[in-house]
Structure formats: structure tokens, C-alpha cells
């Protein structure tokens, strides 16, 4: 672990938007750190996304309703159009065209009929969509000199949206602070790394997956210029660095994160090695226990091709698992939360994953949705969704 104490720095202001008035810092960073390590804080990215990590008891035991399907919320492509919306069994897809390819979609915690869609990296747009009105009600271009990296998270009160961003020239990472209603940025924090991607709010802290890959934005996802991946925790009250962790292999890009009920965090990895053989053999999952970041090994007979898409955490039969969508290997790989290998399951173009209670759901670019229940001998079932699903999904109860 690498950490350092720093002097108080106010967040950088942006434009003429209203100033941030942070509440008094009434708890030391050491207290936040202890709470983080002890697992007291609950992982949340606001609103319905709680269903992925710690579903509420009133949602029912889905193991007794395996015939039921929840709603799957996300972004997809169909024909020449790019959409944000949801799929449900029987009704199919209900989407709103956004004009850009979305990456992560998250529901507004105070207005669950509305969602925020963030463009995939290097992204230029962010939008607020109203499913009931079937329209985009707010849209904003990223500020000059910045690109969006596809991910965001709400503050606890839902008033602020935190977005992972890059400086277009240097690759240095930032967390944008935006008014959730208008999507206008009013301040930003450093991400203390390069290329922040997935982010996770835990109490008054933010856990950041700094992908570590610097590329030339105008060249799209070109060859990396430098690598410096890290898992970083910052204080959301003032943007200060609390702690930072790195893997021994600097060519393992840290991309997505999911937190289980036991407090452990699954970290999806993508190999960025120049040597093809090394890249294809790269591990795709690490587990963070609050103190250290450890790479997980898979079975030698299973080729995961060094690339993790999404990651999800779930609990079933008293066991906690992390599932990883291994897109290039057309498989979903499973580990127990202690880091031990479980199995791999075939899934063409596997990427987007989400969990509710004891079930895993996947949606694919190939146009299928799949659910898996580990405790019933890993039984699974598929449904055609007839769209090209993007990289992430939310799972919410059907209404």
C-alpha cells in the first residue's frame, strides 16, 4: 500500500457555476480509513445500483423465483441508433435514442424513471434520459480539454454526480463534480492517476480504478504511451488522497470494480503488455480486501485471453463470488471471494454483468440475456433481446 497525507486543497472550480460549499470535515481521514477497512461502509453508486452489491431483503429470495426476470437497464445499439433504456421479459426493450454510444447507465436515486448515460471513452457527451417521457431531457458536451471515461456515481443525497475524466493532452485523471440536474461541472478533484475508469462511492470516500493507460485521444484507443494503473481512495469532502495501491505488474490496467457484502472488492483487469503472449496470459481479476490488492489465478486449462470487461459480486448458498465477463474469450469466469478459482461458463461476447440477490445476469453484444444461479448446479437460461448491448448493465426489480 502506498499512501500519503497532504495539505487541505479546495476543489478546482469550473466556469461560473455556483461554488461548492463542502460541509465541515468533522471526522479525520484516519477514521474514514478505519471504517473503510472494517467494512462498515456500504458500497453504493446511488439509487438502484445497490441491487448489484447489497440487495435489500424486501426484494425477495430470487432463488425461489428462478422463472422471474428483473429489468436490465443499460445502453445498446440497434441498426444505426444508440439507445439507453431497459429490457424486460415479455415487453422487450424500451429505449431512448441518445446520439452517442453509452458505456455506464445509472438511475437517479430520487427519480428512478430517469437515468444518466455516459459516453464510452474517449467520450464527449453525458445525458439525462426520462424513460416515462421517452426523451433526453438534459445533455452536455464535455468541457474543453477533457474526455469522459464512461463512468459516474451519485453523491449520497443525489445532488452531485461524480464523473471519471481525462486531460486530453496529458492523460492525467480527474473526478468531475457536476450538478446532477443540469450535468454542469462546478468543480473537480485529481484522481491521483492516469485514465480513471470505474468508480465506487463508499461513505465519504471514492474508490477509483485508475486504468493507467495514457493514449493520444485523437487516435482513439491507440497504443498506450505510458502505464501507471492504480486503485486509489480519495476523500470526497475535499478531494485529498487517502491511500493508493498498485499491482506488481504495471502492464495490468485496472478497469472496473464491484464490492460484495463482505466488503471485498473485485477488480477487473486488462492486459496491456506489448508482447502478445504475455497479454493473452494476463490475469483478469484482482481482489482488494481493504489492505492489499491480490491477483487471482484461473485454471491452467482455461484461456481467458487477458481481458476483463465487467465484474459483478454476488452471494449464493453462503458463498460470495466475483464474476468477470471475459469478452475476448467468450466466457464468464467465476472466483470465490477468497480468490480461489471456481469455473468458467461459455458466453459469446460476454461483458456486461449485474447481480441481484443470488443470481447473475449478463447481456451481450450478440443479442442475448443470460441468468445464472450457482446454488442450483449452476443452472442458466437465455433470452433473446435482439439488440447489441454495450459494456455494462443494472439489474432492478420488475414492477
**Which CATH number fits the domain that encloses residue 29?**
2.130.10.10
Q: Is residue 5 included in any domain, yes or no?
A: no
Residue 160 contacts residue 154 (beta carbons within 8 Å): yes
Q: What angle do CA 374, 263, 397 make, to 5 degrees?
A: 55
User: What is the band of 38 on the pLDDT scale with cuts at 50, 70, 90?
Assistant: very low
Residue 224, in any domain of the structure: yes
Identify whether 7 is part of a domain: no
pLDDT of residue 221: 52
Least confident residue range of 199-203, 254-258, 292-296, 356-360: 356-360
Q: Which domain holds residue 262?
A: 12-396
Band the pLDDT of 30: cuts 50, 70, 90. Answer: low
pLDDT confidence bin for 171, thresholds 50/70/90: confident
How far apart are alpha carbons 270 and 283 in whole angstroms? 8
Tell me if 72 is assigned to some domain.
yes
Mean pLDDT computed over 375-386: 81
Residue 153: pLDDT over 70: yes
Please write the tens of the pLDDT for every residue from 115-126: 999 999 888 999
pLDDT in tens, 66-105: 457 889 999 999 989 999 999 988 888 899 999 999 999 9
Residue 145 domain flag: yes
Q: For the chain, what is the domain count?
A: 1
Q: Is the pLDDT of residue 58 over 50?
A: no
CA 243/CA 5 separation, integer angstroms: 9
In a domain, 326, yes or no: yes
Q: Is residue 2 part of a domain?
A: no
Query: Which pLDDT belongs to residue 217?
Result: 54
Closest CA to 197 of 152, 142, 228: 152
pLDDT, residue 374, reads: 87
Q: Please report, rounded to a whole number, the percentage of residues in the chain having pLDDT higher than 90.
A: 61
Does 325 or 40 have the greater pLDDT score?
325
At 33, the pLDDT band (50, 70, 90 cuts) reads low
Higher pLDDT among residues 281 and 221, named by residue: 281
pLDDT at site 29: 55
Average pLDDT of span 331-351: 93
pLDDT of 195-253, one tens digit each? 999 999 999 999 999 999 876 555 455 555 578 999 999 999 999 999 999 999 999 99
At 165, the pLDDT band (50, 70, 90 cuts) reads very high
Average pLDDT, the chain: 82
Is residue 4 domain-resident? no
Amino acid at each position: 500500500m502506498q499512501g500519503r497525507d497532504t495539505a487541505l486543497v479546495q476543489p478546482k472550480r469550473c466556469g461560473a457555476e455556483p461554488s461548492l460549499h463542502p460541509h465541515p470535515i468533522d471526522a479525520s481521514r484516519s477514521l474514514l480509513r478505519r471504517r473503510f477497512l472494517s467494512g462498515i461502509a456500504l458500497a453504493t453508486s446511488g439509487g438502484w445500483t445497490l441491487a448489484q452489491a447489497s440487495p435489500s431483503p424486501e426484494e425477495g429470495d430470487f432463488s425461489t423465483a428462478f422463472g422471474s426476470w428483473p429489468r436490465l437497464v443499460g445502453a445498446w445499439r440497434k441498426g444505426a441508433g444508440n439507445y439507453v433504456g431497459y429490457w424486460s421479459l415479455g415487453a422487450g426493450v424500451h429505449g431512448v435514442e441518445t446520439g452517442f454510444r453509452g458505456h455506464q447507465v445509472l438511475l437517479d436515486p430520487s427519480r428512478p424513471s430517469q437515468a444518466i448515460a455516459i459516453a464510452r471513452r474517449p467520450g464527449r457527451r453525458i445525458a439525462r434520459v426520462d424513460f416515462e417521457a421517452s426523451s433526453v431531457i438534459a445533455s452536455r458536451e464535455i468541457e474543453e480539454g477533457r474526455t469522459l471515461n464512461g463512468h459516474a456515481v451519485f453523491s449520497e443525497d443525489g445532488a452531485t454526480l461524480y464523473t471519471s475524466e481525462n486531460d486530453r493532452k496529458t492523460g492525467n485523471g480527474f473526478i468531475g463534480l457536476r450538478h446532477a440536474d443540469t450535468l454542469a461541472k462546478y468543480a473537480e478533484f485529481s484522481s491521483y492517476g492516469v485514465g480513471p475508469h470505474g468508480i465506487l462511492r463508499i461513505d465519504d470516500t471514492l474508490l477509483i480504478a485508475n486504468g493507467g493507460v495514457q493514449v493520444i485521444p485523437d487516435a482513439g484507443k491507440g497504443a498506450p504511451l505510458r502505464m501507471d494503473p492504480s486503485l486509489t481512495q480519495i476523500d470526497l469532502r475535499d478531494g485529498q488522497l487517502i491511500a493508493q495501491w498498485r499491482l506488481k505488474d504495471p502492464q495490468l490496467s485496472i478497469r472496473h470494480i464491484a464490492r460484495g457484502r463482505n466488503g471485498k472488492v473485485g477488480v477487473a483487469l486488462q492486459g496491456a503488455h506489448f508482447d502478445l503472449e504475455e497479454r493473452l496470459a494476463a490475469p483478469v481479476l484482482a481482489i482488494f480486501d481493504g489492505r492489499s490488492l491480490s491477483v487471482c489465478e484461473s485454471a491452467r486449462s482455461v484461456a481467458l485471453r487477458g481481458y476483463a470487461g465487467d465484474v459483478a459480486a454476488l452471494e449464493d448458498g453462503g458463498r460470495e463470488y466475483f464474476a468477470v465477463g471475459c469478452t475476448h474469450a467468450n466466457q464468464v469466469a467465476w472466483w470465490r471471494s477468497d480468490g480461489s478459482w471456481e469455473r468458467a461458463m461459455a458466453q459469446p461476447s460476454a461483458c456486461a454483468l449485474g447481480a441481484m440477490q443470488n443470481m447473475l445476469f449478463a447481456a451481450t453484444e450478440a443479442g442475448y440475456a443470460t441468468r445464472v444461479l450457482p446454488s442450483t448446479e449452476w443452472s442458466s437460461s437465455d433470452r433473446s433481446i435482439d439488440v447489441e448491448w454495450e459494456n455494462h448493465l443494472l439489474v432492478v426489480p420488475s414492477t
